[in-house]
Amino acid sequence: MNSQYHLADVLAVHLAQYRQQFSLNYQQQKVCKHIAICRTEKLGVQNWRCDHCDYQQLHYCSCRDRHCPRCQGQQTQAWIEQQQTHIINSPYFHLVFTLPHELNIIAHYNEKALYDALFQSVWQTLSKFAINRKSLRGQLGVTAVLHTWGQTLTQHIHLHCLIPGGVINSRNNWVSVDKPYLFPVKALSKVFRGKMLDALKARNITLPQSLTLMQKPWCVYSKSCLHHPSSVLKYLARYTRKGMLHESRLRSITSNAVQFDYKDYRDSQNKVMTLTGVEFIRRYLLHVLPKGYMRIRHFGFLANACRRKKLKLINEQLPEIRDRVSAQNKGKQVQYCWPCPKCHQGILQLNGLILPITEKIPKGCDEVVFRLTG
């Protein structure tokens, strides 16, 4: 069921009060502005007309900001369909590397360095285990996705890693993992801790409570192994492109509070949390990424520089996946069609774009026109 509430409603009611207590950096200001005007007349109106009857629909343009929960739907689907060509016929492992909450403070003043150190240390850890393990001794392929939030929007910085169950050795041969798990998580945790602290020191970042951080165990969690390509794609969709809050979770917005659903993983129960509007916005803006920062990265034989060549070698040694997208469709842009709700025979086509006089063409509107009419 679609929520009757939107994040823009929260900003409309509580952002002014938030500004009285907290300052917004440039990137946070842009995100708030984009979310506030998303799918409103300020960005223009698209006119869609049926090619069979006289039916018309008007739709407001979207802001296309990656932090906006109302955008990125088509881009997400296109990305997932593109990734289908990169799935190999092998079990996949899902590992989650979580930073101790003592390090969260670094994200308040040097978030880019913290996130870069996390990507680097996780890849170095996994790569070291793959090279040193006697039954493998090769190069892994990893898709790593940065998440900075938990179910209650608190700061919970962690990296999801989706890893094919095998390596490419020095002879360019595929070697499959021979166990139901990839690597021992306790051993991964110790090496990850050392790599991460070294990466932060190399960036001249002062470590809070460094002695405590060395003594406490760091969390590395291994999820169930995935054996089917369709399951891998579902995981890609879930962990790579979802935002920090789907608007269907919003329960109510008042002048005093915001209520939203969340899952408590301690007892696996769905619950409702109530926050003041200011606190809700504060938590949401914690997860605004630096401009242009890539939170999805590929390493090893899945890296962009060598992926095509390495996947070709792997696929020649493994059975082909039956439901793989054909090579003819690879790289083509996904086409979207909407049937006419009136005659049920025609297709809605973009007929025109009405823009505010003072506004430029919104980023992406010209892409929509090109995709549907070009």
pLDDT tens, N- to C-terminus, the chain (374 residues)? 445 899 999 999 999 999 999 999 999 999 999 999 999 888 889 889 998 898 999 888 889 898 998 887 777 777 777 777 888 888 999 999 999 999 999 999 999 999 999 999 999 999 999 999 998 999 999 999 999 999 999 999 999 999 999 999 999 999 999 888 899 999 999 999 999 999 999 999 988 776 688 888 899 999 878 877 667 777 767 766 667 888 999 999 999 999 999 999 889 899 999 999 999 999 999 999 999 999 999 999 999 999 999 999 999 998 876 555 443 344 444 456 788 998 988 999 888 888 775 545 555 444 443 333 33
Residue 121: phi and psi, rounded to 5, are -70, -40
**Domain spans of the chain?**
73-244+287-329
The number of angstroms, rounded, from the C-alpha of 120 to the middle of its chain's C-alpha atoms is 18
What was the pLDDT predicted at 239?
Answer: 66
| pLDDT for the residue 153 | 95
The token pair at 4 is 């009757």
pLDDT of 287 reads 95
Burial of 21 (0-12, 13-18, 19+ CB in 10 A): exposed
Rounded Cα–Cα distance for residues 339 and 345 (Å)? 7
Q: Would you mind telling me the total number of residues written for the chain in this entry?
A: 374
Tokens of 102: 């003592």
**Rounded distance between C-alpha atoms, residue 251 and residue 253, angstroms:** 7
**CA 197 – CA 213 distance, rounded (Å):** 9
pTM for the model: 0.86
Quick one: CA dihedral 16, 18, 20, 25, positive or negative? negative
Residues 327-332: contacts with CB within 8 Å, 24+ apart? 330/85, 331/82
Rounded CA-CA distance 142/93 in Å is: 10
Instruction: State the residue for tokens 């890849």.
Output: 123
